[in-house]
């Protein structure tokens, strides 16, 4: 894994930690920014975790998932963790 990917992964982990601590105002913009990076694995994970954090915060319902995550799931990106 190159240095840039490690940096992006660290940002993802920080955002996940912030979301886990209910600091959604910190986590959500970071997830959104990470969704736009070229690294598809990290971008897909960021979209997933942003949706999870949104559901925990009550800003996204299970009937209204993130558009980006829906597109990723349809494209099969959900299988990248396997």
Q: What are the structural domain ranges in the chain?
A: 3-81
Residues (pLDDT < 50) of the chain are 74-82
pLDDT at 37: 94
Tokens 């979301």 correspond to: 19
Is the model's pTM score more than 0.85? no
Eight-class DSSP state of 77:
G
């Amino acid at each position: 894994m190159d240095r840039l990917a490690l940096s992006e992964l660290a940002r993802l982990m920080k955002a996940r930690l912030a979301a886990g601590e209910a600091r959604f105002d910190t986590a959500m913009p970071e997830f959104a920014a990470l969704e736009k990076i070229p690294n598809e694995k990290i971008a897909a994970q960021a979209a997933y975790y942003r949706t999870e954090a949104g559901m925990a915060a009550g800003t996204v319902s299970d009937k209204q998932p993130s558009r980006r995550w829906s597109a990723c799931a349809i494209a099969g990106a959900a299988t990248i963790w396997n």
